[in-house]
Amino acid sequence: MKISQNKVATINYILTDNDGTVIDQSTDSNFAYLHNGHNIIPGLEAALLDKEAGDQLTVTVEPAQAYGEKDLAAIQQIPRKMFPADADIQPGMQFQGESPEGQMTVVTVTAIDGDTVVVDGNHPLAGLTLNFEVTVVDVREASVEELEHGHVHGQGGHVH
């Protein structure tokens, strides 16, 4: 069976950046996604179309087809006093915030400079070219319930 619309594919993958650093991996046949369900980044999904169990592929995904380019406007300097006084603010900490358009966003503290805290609202992988080594483990039909929910249930998916 080939991967196409409304199929559930189980894949193993190793994700590296252009320096060869491993960013993420799943190699125990425990990751499954619903094709065309917006469960994975568009560039990887497109490369997996028509693949079947046993296929191995190397996929390079540019930022535009992954997590987007880094938006410099999303990097902000915020006065330390805007944070709770008793919070020990450290680089790497994440906070929920609200964008000027009113959307909920997650920002990551990237630096602390005196009374100024620098936060970055970009996705941590924004601006990166992503390199995937993928093996297709299994392809099956999605259930009606999975199609209604837009994600995979059971092994490799949601439990609820």
Residue burial 134-151, b: 16+ Cβ < 10 Å; e: rest? bbbbbbeebeeebeebeb
Taking contact as CB under 5 A, which single stretch among the options 16-24, 59-67, 82-90, 148-156 is the one that binds Zn ion?
148-156
Of 140 and 158, the one with the shorter C-beta distance to Zn ion is: 158
Question: Minimum Å distance from CB 10 to Zn ion?
Answer: 17
Q: Which is nearer to Zn ion, 70 or 149 (CB)?
A: 149
Count of positions on this chain that bind Zn ion (CB under 5 A): 2
Choices 6-14, 33-41, 89-97, 146-154; region in contact with Zn ion by CB under 5 A: 146-154
Q: Which is nearer to Zn ion, 22 or 144 (CB)?
A: 144
Identity of the amino acid at 35: H
Over the window 96 to 135, marking each residue x when it contacts Zn ion by CB under 5 A and - when it does not, the resulting string is: ----------------------------------------
Amino acid sitting at position 147: L
Among 148, 132, 159, CA closest to 48: 132
146: enclosing H helix or E strand = helix 144-149
Cβ-Cβ contacts under 8 Å for 73 (sequence gap 6 or more): none
Q: Is 149 in the site for Zn ion (CB under 5 A)?
A: yes
Q: Sign (positive/negative) of CA torsion 59, 60, 63, 64?
A: negative
Q: Using CB under 5 A as the criterion, which residues of the chain lie in contact with Zn ion when the complex forms?
A: 149, 158
